[in-house]
Structure 1
């Protein structure tokens, strides 16, 4: 298996258009299993590739629905791009393609990079709806969303690369009319090699990761997920601890639960000890006027519905002394 998972820098570049990513993957290869390669690709993408590297990878993709760009694309991963968009193209018409083109232009004008989505298995109308919804995001949030979509694409391509034993050019003819989503059912995704719930903290007041913050994860027992009624409230159940961690220098928490490809449906709570974090900042700054943070703790409660049990939930915290924001990432 080790020989199968020793790929060239071009192979890694075909999986992800970032030269930094490709160089790092070559440096730490070979890999003994697909899961190991997936795990390391995820770590490199989020912890070693910088924003210019992300943008380089984004730029390697043709615009969603741009048939002419797909036809002219000369890179060795051209048929992968066509394959990934095959469902979207087969379900599109002139009106949808025109609307996709117009929204793509608006998106690029706002964010500075092309709209990126893991299109495998998605219809053109679904992609258009996602594009419109994401257009309202703040630029810093949308950059992270796009990076997460790029990592999904990388993981699917890596699974196909392993299936072929390397060389993304080897059998591109057979891929032209096959969607990657069909093949990917036979391979573990990143969700199977990482905890189903993850988080990170960004201190937006300083533009730095929120490091050294205690994080705990709990589940609410006694409620039926997905059912809303006046009789169900937090008091109807009890919080049960699942895991505890402290964010590292990149603001990312350690594992809060065991790695798995599935999670039980239910109501979950992430709690961040933000008061202690700001107390440390106050003490280290030596500025008497700095009063620390307003929130001693921040709790983020969210629900995993029965239809979402095979999904991954990344729930970041964007923190400031007198406000905070959270969203569902990937």
Structure 2
């Protein structure tokens, strides 16, 4: 049975008009899993920075379900249900503290503090807000995008429940955390230990911090160490033993294309991502940038996002999500 929804239904799940338009264009879906897979691909690979910000702005701040540029009565009702535990566990003092921290967060990052609040108490929300507040903006931006995806998956579950189809419990559904769809009558949804990827397990993007814009048109190459030694020796990182995995050129949003196949489990080992920064910035200090990192056996099913924050005379990186 194919399940069809309108664009407005998907806009209630995620406040990005690009997301709603893209996912509505490929509907209907034969299953909830297929809808979630499509949603993840669109959100992480097709929605740009402005689309992410548009979705963030559609949410009320935690503790105030009437704020935010909510797209519909449905999304407003869902927001209220998702915050029900936080509101039920709040006191006057914790609400005031939450309000103050929300204001500090918005002033620093420029958007509302976003968290999948379903089932979380006010103390839990406050603790997470304080934990994330010291983050650098680029890291926090990606963290917020991950939280948005959790919320979107939860709301997709509510859509399917509204059609009389209960999303799978356990085995096939791979939401990040177990949640209960408050205020909708939806059943509890349990997290799975497995996931179906919609993007390669190793990804990257480039941000040109000297211009405050994505680093577009940069050649990127991914390699894996297959030398006779277990790992490349310090000082000999350019010796033979690196095996080409894939290459791409960053797009207008600074994102690379596929550097490797989409697989559920990535091979453990030493990897290297190289960026042709000399071609991008001919008068800069770095002819190229190479980032070497290790994926361990216990991390085979995880995702590794290794971005480059670049300027002509400096660069940095981190493990994103």
Query: CA contact under 8 A between 1:267 and 1:304: conserved in structure 2?
Result: yes
Residues 131-142 of structure 1: pairs in structure 2 closer than 5 A: 131-142=129-140
Q: Distance in 1 between matches of 2:187 and 2:294?
A: 28
Per-residue deviation at 1:32? Answer: 4.5
Shift of 1:104: 0.3
Please state if 1:279 is matched with 2:283.
no
Q: Which residue of 2 aligns with 1:213?
A: 219
**Comparing both structures, which one devotes a greater share of its residues to helix?**
1
The Cα shift of 1:318 comes to 1.4
Tell me what 1:145 maps to: 143
Structure 1 residue aligned with 2:163: 165
- Supply the distance in 1 between the matched residues of 2:90 and 2:300 (Cα, whole angstroms): 30
Choose the corresponding residue for 2:288, options 279, 293, 296.
296
What does residue 313 of structure 1 align with?
Answer: 304
* Distance verdict in 2 for CA 1:241–1:130, change over 3 Å: farther
Paired residue total: 298
**Aligned residue in 2 for 1:255:** 258
Q: Tell me, what secondary structure is at the counterpart of 2:74? A: coil
The structure-2 alpha-carbon separation of the partners of 1:117 and 1:255, relative to structure 1 and needing over 3 Å to count, comes to: same
Relative distance call for 1:80 and 1:220 in structure 2 (3 A) is: farther
Distance 1:75 1:297 in 2: 49
| Map of 2:99 onto structure 1 | 101
* Residues 116-147 of structure 1: CA deviation (Å, up to 9, x unaligned): 12334555444333322332334454334323
Would the aligned equivalents of 1:242 and 1:256 in 2 still touch at CA under 8 Å? no
Q: TM-score, structure 1 length as denominator?
A: 0.70
Partner of 2:12: 14
- Cα pair 1:87 1:179 within 8 Å, conserved: no
Deviations 1:204-258 (A, max 9, x none): 3342334342221537999xxxxxxxxx99759x987583221342432333444
Using the alignment, how far apart are the partners of 2:320 and 2:121 within structure 1? 21
State the Cα deviation string for residues 8-37 of structure 1 (Å, max 9, x = none). Answer: 122111110123322232233334454543
The residue that corresponds to 2:173 in the other structure is none
Which consecutive unaligned segments of at least 5 residues does structure 1 have? Answer: 168-173, 223-231, 283-289
**Is contact 1:58-1:114 (8 Å) kept?**
yes
Shift of 1:182: 4.2
What is the aligned partner in structure 2 of residue 203 from structure 1? 208
RCO (CA 8 Å, sep 6+): is it higher in 1 or 2?
Answer: 1
Alignment TM-score, normalising by the size of structure 2:
0.71
Q: What's the counterpart of residue 56 of structure 1?
A: 54
